Every structure is written in structure tokens, then in C-alpha cells.
Structure 1
Amino acid sequence: MPLTPRPPRKHRRISAKRKLSFSRRSLVMALLAVTLTTPALFAATERTSAAAETQSLLPDDLRPRALGDSRPWEVGLKFQVTRPAYAESIQVYRSQTLSRGTIATLWSPTGSPLSTATFPASGQTGLQTVDLDSPVLLEPGENYVVSYSAPQGRQPQDQRQFTRAVSNGVLRAAPDAGVYSGRLGNYPTRTYRASNYHVDVVVSTGDAGPTTPPPTTTPTTAPTSEPTTTAPTTAPTTAPTSAPTTGPTTAPTTAPTTAPTTAPTTPPGSRNFPTRANTGTPSGWTPTRTINGDHNVTTAGAVVENLRIVNGNLNIRAANVTVRRVEISSGQINNVFSRQCSNGLVIEDTTILRGANDIGQPAIQFGGYTARRVKIDGPSEGLRVGGKDYGCGEVRVEDSFVSVNAYAGCERAGSGIDWHGDALQGYNGAKVTVRHSVLKLNPTPYCIGNSAFFYPTQGNTSAVIDDVLVSGGGFVFRLDTPGQVTNLKVAEDSWIYGPSHNQACGAGITWGAGNEYVNYNEGTGAWSSSRPLSCLGFRG
């Protein structure tokens, strides 16, 4: 569903006032459109410490001084965040060649598309901001990319604006942050003369973050020699002066939904833990319908069942939806769109598989849902609990089996891949309750992941854990909020650093009976007691 574009939002930016810095000669030459100029990316003149609801990396008043050639390009920006933040929107400075509109993409560190923003047809030029179809939680230290397609070329391109690192708030970009690809819609990785393609990301954090001013660059005159044929070239032009406007919008259409049928299957036994065999779609199940690509649910109270989705997401855009006996391969279930959470989501007897393409995103997100007898098998992220800012409510996980695998390539030494996967992670989440379930992280010798259960003090509320088996990760079980923990079972020798790392021990966590190390059989779900487990883990 195309989203409503917006003019550049008035960010409560970390950097309140910035100005461009030009040499006199380069400014005159740019105005005369004689040759390329190289302005400093920005020079900080004043910074404030006011709280920021949203942040972007580049100043909104930064204007391009040159355009690329007329070949088609995918151009973008590579960036990082210094702590968790949600990617909300993409900003693009539109040239006249984008009058037919374009698609912008947020890419994962491994080059998988995470979310898109649709820029509609418009004859206007200038900076425009469009919301991502769904917000994406960004992990610190990972390299993400935002890019857009320029089918007719002539995209804004200023050389030597990324000769040094740039930062604003929680956003960082290393030198050579401007990236491109010669194929439209491809993950851009190549760089050319430290070019800035005037595409940016907008993130939300809830506070201002650091206030260290970004570095400035000394303006110089760009090289006059012709660029090579493997990279975009720039041609002199005057900067666009027209103000950005919003384009037409498209009304959403109601996706077909299926009617309710029989009751869910019998839950797994109370002694053994759930397994692959007794969670997810029942044995012998066959779908009544198969969809390649996304499926949207827009009717409140709808029941979606006996459906198979391949290479697509199940997008829940209405409240009180029931998902029953659905299989998803290379996709996810998502219930936040346009900053609105569709609460009351119930997911039963459903399977989510890694498939041919790991999407690098949670199998289920964001909040206000109940997962019963759900099987998540193979994706690099499991359950996400979050979305309080979007109105998401509590999450319940019951009788479910979650097994998360590392990124592709993690099996190779020296791959340079840094995987931070979790079977369940909370970020800005309401209360989460997990009962009689398995949360399992499957690291490799070169990618250990984060935790099977990870609920830190990052806007999270509280947790109730009862009769839960956790296995794998640096620290297997991490709870830093208030909570109640009973009958927690940590699989022996499944950690890298320790079995648990709970900062709220004695200060909000009620550590009840039955918490212990166990010997665990994944195939049958059987387990046997080994020794008691302290809230402090090895420190207890």
C-alpha cells in the first residue's frame, strides 16, 4: 500500500543550526555552472541538547550542487546507529528526473531489503520525506543502507562530501558513505570519489543522544577529469530551488481474508517441552491457498487460516485478527504500519521458516499479540516485543518452539559477519509473558548471536517467565527489567559467556522456584535436572 508522502519533517534535531561551507571560488563556479564544486558536508555552528523525537544524518537545508549522468543508478547512504533506534522514514532530494516517482529501500547488513518507501509521481523537486512501509529496529554497530532507484539518472551527486566520518545524534556514517549500484533495485555497495547522493534516513530514539559535533571538511575544487565508466559522473548544474511538496496518495484496498473454521489443535504435553513436531501447522496439513509475496489483512476481526505465503509477509493492518494454520517461508508477520499498532492479534498453530532467503528481521513483530503453538524454525531473528510508541500492548507466548539460526556465511571463518540474533528480544515493549515454550539460539563458532531471551532496559516494561527452556547465545537469559521467573530451564553448556546476565537481580526480579540447569533433548522435548540456577548465573 503506497504511503502518504510528506514534506521534510521539522526534526527536533541534535544539531539545530548548520550552514554549508564553500570556498568563494567554488561557490561562484557552482552558480555559473562551469564545473563541479566540493562543499564541506556541513560545518557545525551551534548544537543544542534538546530531546529529539526523530533524527536524520544530513541537514535538511543541504542542497546538491551537481547531478550525475543520465544512466540508471541505485544510489544510497551507508550508516550505523550507536544504540538501538527505529528507522522510520527515508529522505530523498528529488531531481526533475524523478517525476514518475521511485522506490526507496532500507537494506540489512547482509544486503536484504528490510522495508521500503514509495515516492509518488510528482513534478516538484527538492527534499521529500516518506515513511517506510513498516519501521525497523536498527542494531548498534551494524552497517545499514538506504537507497533509491534513479531510472533516468541525473541524480544529485556531490563528490568529496564523505571524505570524513559524519555523525548526528545516534547516527554515524564512515568515510565513503555514499554507495551505488549500476542495477536498479540492487543492494548498492560501490563507492565513487566520496560522493553524497543526498539520500538520508530518519530514526526515532526518544532522546537526544550524544552532542559531539560532526567533523567538517575543507572545501576544494573537484577533479575536472572525466570519471570512469563504472561510476556515475557529475555534470554542472544549478541547485534546485523549488520547495518539496507531497504527491498524490493511493487509498488502501481490502485484502481477502478467510472465514473461521475448526478449533486449534491440542497443546503439547505439560512435562516435555514443545518440539518441531507438535508446534506450528499440524502434521499432514495442506494449505487451501498459496501466495507468492505479501498478503495484507485490513478487516478488523478477520480470521486468516490454511494459507501458505512464500517470499512475502503477512501484514496485519487491522485489530483483533486471528491467524491460524498459516505457513510463511522467507517472510514475517508484522502488525505496525504508519505508526499504528493493530492490537488483539492471535497467532495459532502457525509455522515461520527461513526459506530460501533469510529476511534478517523478526519472524513476528511488534506487540499486542498472542502466539500459541507457533513454530519459528531457522530465521535469523525470532520474536520481537516492542512498539509501545505505536500503541502496541502486551505480548503472550504459549506452548511455542522458537529456533533461530545465524546469518548465511557465519559458518565460514573470517567472514566478518557480526550477527546479533535473539530468539526473543524486547525493545520499547510492554509486558511480555512466556509460558511452556522453547527459545533456542543456534550460534556458529564465528557468529555467537546475542541471547535466547533478551529483555533489557531499553524502554521495556516487565516480564513473566514460567516453564521456559532457553538455550544458546553469549548469555542465554538476559532480563534487566522487573519480572517474575519460575521454572526457567537453561540447557547445560549452551552459552559462550554465561547462562544468565540479569541486572535487576534483587531490584525488581522475583526469582522463584524451579529455575535450574538441565540436560535437554531437542528432538523429544525431554529434560532432566542438573543443578540449581541463580539469578546471577555464574556470579551467584
Structure 2
Amino acid sequence: MKHRRTFFTGTRFRRAATVCSAFGVVILIAVGFTWYSTRDNRDGSPENVAQADASVPTVAGQPSGVQSIPPSAATASASASAPSSASASPSSSASRKPAGSTTTKSVSKGGCALPAYPTAGCTGVPAGWSPKKTIEGDLTVTKAGAVISDHLVTGTILVKAPDVTIRRTRIYGGVDNFLSDKIYGHLTIEDTEVVNKPGESVSSNEQYAFGVANYTCRRCKVMNRIEGWRIGASSFAGAAQVTIEDSFAQLAVPAGMCQSVDPHGDGIQGYGAPTAVIRHNTIDQRRDDCPTAPIFIPDQDNAGGTIQDNLLAGGGYALRLTGGNFPAVTGNKIVGGSAEYGPVEVDCAKIGNWGGNAVVNYDFDRGVILKETKKLKDCG
């Protein structure tokens, strides 16, 4: 079970189990498919002023020394300038944990609409992207209505102003709009990615990539991190609905970390969360040996929300909804054999419309379903 160490980091109310070894890869099928806080009161006096572009009001560059999360101890040879997606052969059922190899197959913008699902190629910064401005360390945004575009930020973007927009930006730390006991929203994040530093294939950073409330994350990407999106702080000023859509996450834990720390990562976690709309995302947690779930909204003061058309793989259970009210949980697809205990753990009394949810075989390279193998007709 997950318990709170601090308000938004550490071990939370989780299932108590370690994840079993990888299942075997199964049969190849040929088909006819075509073709994005630690609650932290960092006010951080800025040491310099950064201009994002001609349309951007003043923002402040903050030294990386204020980061509360230490640099990752993980080492490997992969560059964040070309983050990769999980490699899995287009088999009839995905393995519990895929092989360590990765792929960078690109999907054109617009190629992720249903019936396809988001991939690493159609989320985050576009192909051929290069930053117009690089910020070393954290970037604190203090001007209302600021637009941060085409940045490379080696730390965390700390949003401390209303109506901020972040577009086409690569970040090595994360995005956080819960500062000084206040939510700064509405925050819009588009075509933006949280990836690891060059030379670091998997991060030991336990902080979430995007959070915490009153934000929209659209076509966002998270690569080889422990935590994806956080939704929470509903009792604090400024909190409001969160929307996460058309986004992709590949979650992973460094070798040996499950035995030493057991971080129990999530794709999307609700903790004291406002209402959420979680729609048309791919969350792949197969490379995490001690997960909670790709979507985890437990009975921890969560309002619930609408969960539609997501493709989920890995976790103890892939979809865990036990806290709040869920008007619609529809069209979600769980990759067969990928979750340790089963596809879903839900409280049916809290769910309104349940339909179109199923177990599937899935091609991770192309972002398409190969075959629906079992309809999840009953909520439980």
C-alpha cells in the first residue's frame, strides 16, 4: 500500500507486492492496419532573466542547486536528444517486460488519432526539433500569460504565474505548478516532453514529470521515468480540473532500484485530486518491475473523473479506480498479459458508464491494436 512520505513524493498508498519476472513473447499476428509536487515552497530568487521568444513576458532562470531531487545515479548510453520508445515485436500479446532494446520509429503528426494510439513519434517535440533557447537548471515563470516555446530546460519548469503556456519544449526535470501552497493555473502544456539527460537511459528521479492541478497536457511525452503525471492538491487555492490527452509515457526503473527503494511508480496518479479527464493516452509500464499502475486513482480524497480510450500496459493492475466518482470509463484497452494481477481493479459502485473496455494484442511500434482478445463486459 502507498503511504505519504511528503505531500507529493515518496512511497504512497500502493499495493504491497513485487513484480514477477517477464512472461515469454508469444505468437506473431499479421494484420491489415495502415498506417507530459513534491509540494515544495520554493520561491527561489532568480539570478538571471530569460526571454523565451518575442511573445514571452519575463521569466526567471533559477540555479539547479535548488532542486530537491538529486541527480540520477542511473548510467547508460542513450541520448535525450533522440528519446526512444519501447520496442516490442508486433506479437499477439506483449510480454510482462520488453527487451532492453528500443526503437525510434517516427509517426507523423496526426497519425495518432483513433483507431491508432499515441506513440513516442507523434508526441513531445516534433521531428527535427532544436531549441531556440537553453536554460541550465530550473526555470521559474513569474509573468502571467507567459508563453515558453522551443526551450531546452535542464532542470524543472516552476510555474508561478497564471495562464502560462509551454509548447515544444524538452525538459530534463519536470513541470510543477504547485508552489508556496498554491496552484498556478490554468497551465497549458503542448508538444512537450520530459526525458532524461544525454547519456542517461533510465532515471532514478522519483519526482513526477508533470503536475499538479488546473492544467492541460496535450501531446506530452514521458520517457524512461518512474512517475508520469500527478493530479492533486484539490484543497489548495487555484486547484481545478486536469486534462491529459493524446499523450505517451514509457515508464522504467533503473536496475536494482526495486530491491533497494521499491518506488512503486505510476503513469497517472491521483492524490487528493480534483476531477480529471484522461483521454486517448498510451501508458506503457512494462519496464517497471515494482509498479502500481499506469492509471491509479485510489481512495485518497480523489474526485475521480472520465477515463476514455486509453491504451495501458504493465502495472500490478493496469487500470485502478477506487476513489471518487467516474461518470464514464469507456473504450480503454489493456495489453494482454502485461499486468501482474489482471487488467483492472475498480469499484463498480463509483462508475457510471462502463463499456468498450477490453484486453487486446497491440503493436507498440505502430500504435495499433492487432486483435481484441477479451471484452471487459463486467465492471469488476
TM-score w.r.t. the length of structure 1 is 0.51
Distance 2:111 2:236 in 1: 32
Which residue number corresponds to residue 52 of structure 2?
258
Q: Is the 8 A contact 2:285 2:314 kept in 1?
A: yes
1:271 to 115, 120, 126: 115
Q: Is the 8 A contact 1:267 1:373 kept in 2?
A: no
1:154-193 aligned at under 5 Å gives the runs: none
Deviations 1:49-76 (A, max 9, x none): xxxxxxxxxxxxxxxxxxxxxxxxxxxx
Q: Is the 8 A contact 1:519 1:529 kept in 2?
A: yes
Which residue number corresponds to residue 252 of structure 2?
405
Distance 1:141 1:438 in 2: 23
Distance 1:378 1:282 in 2: 19
1:134-149 aligned at under 5 Å gives the runs: 136-140=8-12
1:517 pairs with 2:359: yes
Q: Is the 8 A contact 1:254 1:297 kept in 2?
A: no
Call closer, same or farther: CA 1:469–1:393 in 2, change over 3 Å. same
Which residue number corresponds to residue 299 of structure 2?
457
1:40-79 aligned at under 5 Å gives the runs: none
* 3-state SS of paired residue (2:284): strand
1:362, distance to aligned residue in structure 2 (A): 0.4
Which residue number corresponds to residue 182 of structure 2?
340
Amino acid at match of 1:363: A
1:501 pairs with 2:345: yes
Distance 2:194 2:353 in 1: 32
Q: Is the 8 A contact 1:376 1:401 kept in 2?
A: yes
* 3-state SS of paired residue (2:8): strand
Distance 1:420 1:385 in 2: 16
1:259, distance to aligned residue in structure 2 (A): 4.1
1:198-277 aligned at under 5 Å gives the runs: 255-259=49-53, 266=110, 268-277=112-121
Q: Which runs of 5+ in 1 are unaligned?
A: 1-81, 88-134, 143-202, 205-248
Q: Is the 8 A contact 1:328 1:353 kept in 2?
A: yes
Q: Is the 8 A contact 1:320 1:345 kept in 2?
A: yes
Call closer, same or farther: CA 1:457–1:327 in 2, change over 3 Å. same
Q: Is the 8 A contact 1:474 1:495 kept in 2?
A: yes
Which residue number corresponds to residue 150 of structure 2?
306
Q: Is the 8 A contact 2:9 2:206 kept in 1?
A: no
Call closer, same or farther: CA 1:86–1:388 in 2, change over 3 Å. farther
1:108-123 aligned at under 5 Å gives the runs: none
Amino acid at match of 1:525: G
Q: Is the 8 A contact 1:362 1:380 kept in 2?
A: yes
Amino acid at match of 1:490: I
Distance 1:465 1:141 in 2: 21
Distance 1:256 1:382 in 2: 27
Which residue number corresponds to residue 485 of structure 1?
329
Deviations 1:473-520 (A, max 9, x none): 111110012111010101100111111111x20x12024331111111
Which residue number corresponds to residue 428 of structure 1?
272
Amino acid at match of 2:312: V
Call closer, same or farther: CA 1:85–1:141 in 2, change over 3 Å. closer
Amino acid at match of 1:282: P
1:358 to 204, 228, 237: 204
1:530, distance to aligned residue in structure 2 (A): 1.4
Call closer, same or farther: CA 1:340–1:252 in 2, change over 3 Å. farther
Amino acid at match of 1:258: A
> How well do the aligned residues superpose, as a CA RMSD in angstroms?
2.6
Amino acid at match of 1:372: R
Which residue number corresponds to residue 17 of structure 1?
none
Call closer, same or farther: CA 1:427–1:140 in 2, change over 3 Å. closer
Which residue number corresponds to residue 129 of structure 1?
none
Call closer, same or farther: CA 1:368–1:267 in 2, change over 3 Å. farther
Amino acid at match of 1:486: T
1:282 to 87, 105, 126: 126
1:533 to 368, 376, 379: 376
Whichever structure has more strand as a proportion of its residues is 1
1:291, distance to aligned residue in structure 2 (A): 1.9
1:309, distance to aligned residue in structure 2 (A): 1.4
Q: Is the 8 A contact 1:400 1:437 kept in 2?
A: yes
* 3-state SS of paired residue (1:485): strand
1:340, distance to aligned residue in structure 2 (A): 0.9
1:327 pairs with 2:327: no
- Determine which structure has greater relative contact order: mean sequence separation of CA pairs < 8 Å that are 6+ residues apart, divided by chain length: 2
1:524, distance to aligned residue in structure 2 (A): 0.7
1:370 to 201, 216, 221: 216
Distance 1:366 1:257 in 2: 25
Distance 1:250 1:473 in 2: 36
Identity %: 31
Call closer, same or farther: CA 1:409–1:508 in 2, change over 3 Å. same
1:140, distance to aligned residue in structure 2 (A): 4.5
Call closer, same or farther: CA 1:326–1:251 in 2, change over 3 Å. closer
Q: Which runs of 5+ in 2 are unaligned?
A: 15-38, 56-108
Distance 1:267 1:399 in 2: 11
Amino acid at match of 1:136: F
Distance 2:181 2:363 in 1: 41
Distance 1:476 1:374 in 2: 20
Amino acid at match of 2:233: G
Structure ID, larger Rg: 1
1:394 pairs with 2:313: no
